[in-house]
């Protein structure tokens, strides 16, 4: 791909629904225009480990170190909450979520509660979008680096 094509290309279409949904913590997507606001979407997950793992993690708190079982619990809770939010977004026939925010807490001893929410939107690419600032510089640098690597081969 030529550098000017990379920098002047239009962003890809996002099919939406169950096929693909993109999300961001920002108020929009670089190179995309928000066509419609569908409303608030969210996902909630409350998960707990079994008593054996909970006791083992209690001992680990005394000796120190990462509480791996709890870290895994947090990851599982976060992913489940995201999956629920994406399902809700697909039902609204949106292809993007903006202003994504996470709220994390311990619902009880050994339990993890994750709430994720955002605004479902329908977006479309801006035709002949030219990235500027950091994104444009990163794309240009990536192109130049790949070009140098190709010439070394």
> Cα separation of 81 and 83, whole Å?
5
Confidence bin at 109 (pLDDT 50/70/90): low
> Cα separation of 40 and 94, whole Å?
11
What SS3 class is residue 55?
A: helix
The answer to whether 88 touches 17, Cβ cutoff 8 Å, is: no
User: pLDDT of 57-108, one tens digit each?
Assistant: 455 455 555 656 667 777 888 899 999 999 999 999 999 999 999 998 765 5
The DSSP string of 82-101 is HHHHHHHHHHTT-SEEEEEE
pLDDT of the residue at 74: 76
Map out the domains of the chain with their CATH numbers: 3-152 (3.30.110.70)
pLDDT at 26 over 70: yes
């Amino acid at each position: 791909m030529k550098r000017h094509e990379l920098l002047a290309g239009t962003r890809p279409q996002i099919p939406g629904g169950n096929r693909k949904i993109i999300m961001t913590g920002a108020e929009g997507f670089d190179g995309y225009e928000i066509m419609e606001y569908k409303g608030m979407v969210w996902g909630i997950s409350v998960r707990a480990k079994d008593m054996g793992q909970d006791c083992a993690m209690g001992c680990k708190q005394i000796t120190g170190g990462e509480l791996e079982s709890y870290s895994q619990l947090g990851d599982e809770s976060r992913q489940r909450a995201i999956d629920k939010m994406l399902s809700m977004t697909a039902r609204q026939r949106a292809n993007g979520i903006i202003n994504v925010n996470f709220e994390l807490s311990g619902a009880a001893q050994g339990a993890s509660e994750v709430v994720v929410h955002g605004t479902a939107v329908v977006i479309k690419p801006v035709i002949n979008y030219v990235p500027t600032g950091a994104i444009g510089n990163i794309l240009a640098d990536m192109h130049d680096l790949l070009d140098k690597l190709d010439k070394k081969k």
